[in-house]
Amino acid sequence: MSERLLVRAGVLALPLGPQRADILCEGGRIVAVGRDLDSPGARVIHADGLAVGPGFIDVHVHGGGGHSFFTQDRSRIEAYAAWAPRNGVTSFLVSTVGNGPGESEAILQALAPVVGSTGGAEVLGFHMEGPFINPARHGAFPPGMLRTPSVAEWERYAAAAGGAIRQVTLAPELPGALPLIRAIERAGAIPAMGHTDATTVESARGFEAGIRHVTHLFNAMRPIHQREGGPIVAALLEDRATCELICDGAHVDPAPLRMAYRVLGPERTVVVTDNLHLAGQEATSGRFAGEEVTVSGAKAAKADGTIVGSVATMDQHFRNAVEFLGIDMATAFRLCAANPARIAGVAGRKGRLEPGFDADLVVLDSDLRVRATVCRGEVAFDGLATELTRD
Ligand SMILES: [Zn+2]
């Protein structure tokens, strides 16, 4: 049981607009939000002049801080979870897949025990990016690891993960994809369209079958053509679907991001990092899926120029979202916390600053830089350098 924590006098990012108030946390939950709260003996974070919002939730991340999720070593996930709060991340989906069905099952089985663990950022479950994706849009994934959609194979993955797969990225135009989409939805996970060469019509069939989310809109999918809108136009026009935007400035130019946001609005936009293990590292090169990658700026790419993932951390994506999309801070918190909470299936307990919700908080300064992060009521990152006092 975590101790009592009082976050005093921050400007809170609340649904009805910013408001100066205190937040009292106890037992890992928010127990009160209001003015001049009193709690003798509580640990205090003095947030005067700082902004406080719900902690960031990243539903598409492959690692960071030198730790990769393409592993059967659960200590890598735990090490990432301990590192991520410095970027304001308080929970995440482990985005992973193996090189072949046997390895995918082994990874899911090996990592399943960390789901729900709370040493730092909380592991909310898995996002399987593949293997049922289109070889024509494989992006950074080696073509040899891709699979034809199979309900039986999906059921083996779901069992290996102990039912903790929350999101599955697939290409709806592949043979057998539609029954697979229905099976994923029946299992309570989110079928997501991505790494796809679908036409507008094929995309629509996918949405009819149950696709409700789109993995990194624009990237690794058929581009827009004036006579074949493809998955991007279909996704923008599909009111039932949320869409991921990678806001690192390298994956997508700010102008198309802004265009997409104009259509999607604050309810349907989900900011994700697609971070590699190289995120937040000094290293300028590394390996991904057995190939050498080079980092320059926010971009990590293979020798042929294929972008393999982002290295800009979540707090940078948050700042970019404000700038690129032309939104205010409270709206950016919806895109980085409340909306991803729905994808991860935790909207009932995460993504909002309300009594009863998990005490997952991020404190930002006026430059929107992370000054402190609280995970389930525990201070997981303290960059305030102010005195934490007992009243
Ligand atoms: Zn990815």
Residue 253 is among the residues annotated as catalytic for this protein: no
* Amino acid code (one letter) for 357: F
Distance 47 CA to ligand 1 centre (A): 35
Distance 117 CA to ligand 1 centre (A): 22
Distance 386 CA to ligand 1 centre (A): 37
Q: What per-residue confidence (pLDDT) applies to 9?
A: 85
Residue 1 has pLDDT above 90, yes or no: no
Element (H, E) at 74: helix 74-83
Confidence of residue 198 (pLDDT cuts 50, 70, 90): very high
* pLDDT tens sequence across 35-89: 999 889 999 999 998 999 999 999 999 999 999 999 999 999 999 999 999 999 9
Least trusted range by pLDDT, from 138-147, 294-303, 309-318, 338-347: 294-303
Residue 388 has pLDDT above 70, yes or no: no
Catalytic, out of 248, 274, 315, 360 = 274
- Residue with token string 């898995």: 126
What integer is the mean pLDDT of 278-284? 85
Q: pTM of this prediction? A: 0.96
Phi then psi for residue 247, to 5 deg, are -105, 45
Higher pLDDT, residue 178 or 388: 178
What integer is the mean pLDDT of 5-26? 91
d(CA 297, CA 294): 10
Q: What per-residue confidence (pLDDT) applies to 384?
A: 79
Q: What per-residue confidence (pLDDT) applies to 385?
A: 54
Distance 133 CA to ligand 1 centre (A): 12
DSSP state for residue 187 in the 8-state scheme:
T
**% pLDDT > 90, the chain:** 83
Q: What per-residue confidence (pLDDT) applies to 391?
A: 47
CB neighbour burial string for 155-183, b if at least 16 within 10 angstroms, e if fewer = eebbebbeebbbbbbbbbbbeebbebbeb
3-state secondary structure string, 102-145? Answer: HHHHHHHHHHHHHCCCCCCCEEEEEEEECCCCCHHHCCCCCHHH
Query: What domains can be seen in the chain, in order of their start residue?
Result: 5-53+352-382 (2.30.40.10), 56-343 (3.20.20.140)
Distance 116 CA to ligand 1 centre (A): 22
Distance 129 CA to ligand 1 centre (A): 6
Confidence of residue 186 (pLDDT cuts 50, 70, 90): very high
Distance 248 CA to ligand 1 centre (A): 13
Average pLDDT, the chain: 94
Higher pLDDT, residue 187 or 294: 187
* Other beta carbons less than 10 A from residue 383's beta carbon: 13
